[in-house]
Amino acid sequence: MTIQQAESILLTTEIKIALTHRFAFDTGTILRLDNYAMINIFDDGRYYIQGEDTEELIAAFSQIEEPWDPDSWTGEMPNHPASAAAQDNPRLPLAPPTIFPKPGPSKRFEF
């Protein structure tokens, strides 16, 4: 499911989009609707409808694609490409060690 597909499905209903914004970790988009329901559309194609008065939404969206069921989720991310860094180098190099000053009095305070 894409945002454009969801918007076109919503045009067939009386429900309007009140607000659109991205998830906190930038993994998808939330469509907040004027009936206080929400449609969470993930970047990997999954979508989830939540809130009250969702029967009409579920019926309209299920004609195109079944919603994602979090209760049956096995943890796999469908259509989720691996990051470029993981493809190039599966073991990323460690950061250089931090060098701490030797314990003892600081020279700038010695007279």
Over the chain, what is the mean pLDDT? 78
Q: What is the pLDDT of residue 66?
A: 80
Percent of the chain with pLDDT over 90: 30
Question: Helix 3-10 crosses helix 55-62 at what angle (to 10 degrees)?
Answer: 120
* DSSP conformational letter for 77: -
* Alpha-carbon gap, residue 99 to 34, rounded angstroms: 56
* Alpha-carbon gap, residue 59 to 51, rounded angstroms: 15
* DSSP conformational letter for 106: -
Instruction: Note the pLDDT tens digit of each residue in 16-59.
Output: 999 999 988 888 999 999 999 999 999 888 899 999 888 899 89
Model pTM above 0.95: no
Rg (CA), the chain: 24
- Residue 25 φ then ψ, to 5°: -100, 20
Where do the domains of the chain lie, and which CATH numbers do they carry?
A: 3-69 (3.30.310)
